[in-house]
Amino acid sequence: MISPIFLFSQVVRVGIAGMTHDHVGQALHAAQKNADVVIVGFAEKNKNLAMRLLKEYKLPESLWYPDLETLISKTKPEAVCAFNSIYEHLEVVQTCAPKGIHVMVEKPLAVNMDHLNQMKALVKKHPIALLTNFETTWYPSHAKMWDMLKVDKSLGDLRKVVIMDGHNGPVEIGCSKEFLAWLTDPKMNGGGALIDFGCYGANIMTWLMEGQKPISVTAVSQHLKPHIYPKVDDETTIILNYPTCQAIIQGSWNWPFDRKDTELYASKGILVANKTKQMKYVSEGRFGKESLIDLTPLAPERANVFAYLAAVVQGKINPQKDLSSLAINEIVVEILSAATESAKTHKTIFLK
């Protein structure tokens, strides 16, 4: 049981909006541990789904609320995390921002530019932290990649980044029916693999470029499995063109296995970053010299989504241009919107 005393402790109180995103397991685990935050409730209109998940994680049914407004009025959260469809992210911000409640959503931030612009207007009027959660944000390899490129400057000039994200497909890996209902709906998710996995690369590249927009976006998407995904793409490649470098983003529901790999090519070396505890480094030279770099664990407040959220709410971290920040993720949405248009029109889209 969640003791009422937690509501008056220094631990940040977090409410959960929606339970249809399978990543809600993060919040359910957090509710069991009461470590970085205390989960004060889950707002989910599908009561059967909520009861099933709460029972599975051995959590009290009293944590369920039928809607976000009720959860907020009863529990007074300091922040809300959205685990619903991308389309519903806007509604969460509309509910929370006027009340001064910080928001973190699952990637990507918004389903389209219209939703993004409404979110930005709300945050401007009601200053809150609006954050986006990506699994890759918590990889020590990406922090080390940043240090070598930006701090030590040991890699020289950035020339090309190739980012590969995806898995066998959401149906193939056994995603829940509630998740699939909106993940494969072009309105509720904004697209298929292009949105689901193209967003990782757009996020990482925008961060590496310190918020600089690409000059242009070119994308190709395919329906390789129309019998499984008739409404959305399942294979996509996005090319981002910058004045001094380029990025190739491969988002796929057709990989033979799960992967989230970033390959960085610079004038003095190559890095291959993923979720493992070591990172491959190839130094400069005609044939290169390959080695493995042992990675240092991230600081606790940057090692997982809820520790980070708590640090932001408590004023210990200013997101600024972090991977989770609004500044980075509004450009991610712009890139994805341009990629969607490019794939549809078979034209390169130049950003303003």
Domains and CATH numbers, the chain: 4-134 (3.40.50.720), 136-299+318-350 (3.30.360.10)
Q: Locate tokens 């918020």: which residue?
A: 211
Looking at residue 34, what is its pLDDT? 67
Q: Give tens-digit pLDDT for 122-141.
A: 999 999 999 999 999 999 99
Q: Give the pair of three-digit tokens for residue 202.
A: 């757009």
Is the previous residue joined to 108 through a cis bond, with omega within 30 degrees of 0?
A: yes
C-alpha dihedral, 103 to 107 to 109 to 115, nearest 10°: -120
CA nearest to 191, candidates 115, 92, 108: 108
Contacts of 285 (CB under 8 A, 6+ apart): none
Looking at residue 8, what is its pLDDT? 40
Per-residue pLDDT of the chain (352 residues; tens, 9 = 90+): 333 433 344 799 999 999 999 999 999 999 998 678 999 999 999 999 999 999 999 999 999 999 999 999 999 999 999 999 999 999 999 999 999 999 999 999 999 999 999 999 999 999 999 999 999 999 999 999 999 999 999 999 999 999 999 999 999 999 999 999 999 999 999 999 999 999 999 999 999 999 999 999 999 999 999 999 999 999 999 999 999 999 999 999 999 999 999 999 999 999 999 999 999 999 977 677 899 999 999 999 999 999 999 999 999 999 999 999 999 999 999 999 999 999 999 999 999 8
Looking at residue 14, what is its pLDDT? 97
Looking at residue 10, what is its pLDDT? 79
Q: Return d(Cα 42, Cα 66) in angstroms, integer.
A: 8
Whether the Cβ atoms of residue 95 and residue 72 lie closer than 8 Å to each other: yes
Q: Return d(Cα 98, Cα 312) in angstroms, integer.
A: 18
CA nearest to 60, candidates 14, 84, 28: 28
Phi and psi of 238, rounded to 5°? -120, 130
pTM of this prediction exceeds 0.75: yes
Q: Return d(Cα 160, Cα 71) in angstroms, integer.
A: 46
**Strands, DSSP E only, in 168-245?**
216-222, 235-241
